[in-house]
Amino acid sequence: MKPAVDTNEAELIARIVGGEKELFHDLIRPYERMVYLTLFSIVKNETEAEDGAQETVISAYRHLASFRAEAKFSTWLTTIAINEGRKRLRKAKGAAEESIDEQVEGQEGDYTPAPLTDWREIPLEALERKELREALQAAVAELPDIYRQVFTLRDLEEFNVEETAQALGLSANVVKVRLHRARLMLQKRLVPFLKTAAPARRGFFGRWL
Amino acid sequence: MKLDCKHVWEHISEYIDGSVDAQLREDIERHLEHCEICSAILDSTRNILVLTADDRTFELPVGYSKRLHERLKEEIDKSN
């Protein structure tokens, strides 16, 4: 998460609205990644996500005068990105399909973590492995939409709970529940992989670590 | 209060975020001191989050930024 509208950013926005349009390039630069990842979390397709990210930035440029400083620029921009993503998804799925907004989480489900006994921690070297990154990308892509979107904003883009709730139009409590489930689903998915990524080794007293 | 593992799992996400109250935090930490299973779950979940926040895990398409700014430039030129 980028800093809130700091004085520099507020000044930048005022100057752009005042006519120094070229400065919009500088305003948007710190948020390019965030915009793309938000789109990708919804449309799950690189080309669609990039096209949507461009539309989001153009829309933000056109509507910058309507941005109110009491909101955070990052949250405002993310809301535009989410709307753009949902629009694209509806278009892709066609009007016959049920609304994407109708998807809700069940009250019950198996959201328990996978227990591990043979390692304490992923060694730093394992975190450097490309296979682990790819496994994580795949696991995130396979999360149900409602969990992936919360997880993306909260843990990838590092929004706080309130900002995530605001951007997605959810209550803070729903954000917390979905985040919790998303994290445990990922933990469960990645554990078998982590076990092979971190081969058991003998520790003190002959205990397997 | 003495917590069982399942109770710890229910709060693991909030624990990681530091949003559990002081008493619950203390109870969880006491449990973690003697429970290797929960400690390993906590470590693995934390590591997944570290990996998630690492910019190298979720990369942008090559040339994304360049194309974005070209498109923006066209738009700005158009509105001038």
Q: What is the predicted ipTM? A: 0.90
Tokens standing for A189? 């998915």
Tokens standing for A36? 């793309």
A50 to B41: CB separation less than 8 angstroms, yes or no: no
Per-residue pLDDT at B44: 86
Q: Which of B17, B51, B68 sits opposite A57 (nearest CB)?
A: B68
Cα–Cα distance measured from residue A88 to residue A52, given in angstroms and rounded to the nearest whole number? 8
Residue A169 φ/ψ region, left for φ over 0, alpha for ψ in the -120 to 50 degree band, beta for the rest: left
Return the half-sphere exposure (C-beta side, CA atoms, 13 A cut-off) of residue A199. Answer: 1
Q: Give A52-83 pLDDT, tens digit per residue.
A: 999 999 999 999 999 987 788 999 999 999 99
Q: Give A84-143 pLDDT, tens digit per residue.
A: 999 999 888 775 454 445 455 665 566 777 776 554 545 556 666 778 888 999 999 999
Per-residue pLDDT at B80: 77
Tokens standing for A8? 């520099």
With helix as H, strand as E and coil as C, how does chain A read? CCCCCCHHHHHHHHHHHCCCHHHHHHHHHHHHHHHHHHHHHHHCCHHHHHHHHHHHHHHHHHCHHHCCCCCCHHHHHHHHHHHHHHHHHHHHHCCCCCCHHHCCCCCCCCCCCCCCCCCCCCCHHHHCCHHHHHHHHHHHHHCCHHHHHHHHHHHHCCCCHHHHHHHHCCCHHHHHHHHHHHHHHHHHHHHHHHHHHCCCCECHHHCEC
B51 to A133: CB separation less than 8 angstroms, yes or no: yes
Average pLDDT value for chain A? 82
- Is pLDDT larger for residue A158 or for residue A118? A158
Cα–Cα distance measured from residue A112 to residue B41, given in angstroms and rounded to the nearest whole number? 10
How many residues make up chain A in this entry? 209
Q: Which of residues 47-86 of A touch B (CB under 8 A)?
A: 50, 53-54, 57-58, 61-62
How many angstroms separate the CA of residue A96 from the nearest CA in chain B? 32
Per-residue pLDDT at A57: 98
B68 to A53: CB separation less than 8 angstroms, yes or no: yes
How many angstroms separate the CA of residue A65 from the nearest CA in chain B? 14
* DSSP class per residue in A126-171: HHT-HHHHHHHHHHHHHS-HHHHHHHIIIIIS---HHHHHHHHT--
B58 to A46: CB separation less than 8 angstroms, yes or no: no
Per-residue pLDDT at B56: 87
Per-residue pLDDT at A133: 87
A57 to B72: CB separation less than 8 angstroms, yes or no: yes
Residue A179 CB: number of other CB atoms within 10 A? 22
| Percent of all residues in chain B with a pLDDT value above 70, rounded to a whole number | 99
pLDDT above 50: residue A191 = yes
β-bridge mates for residue A202, sequence order: A208
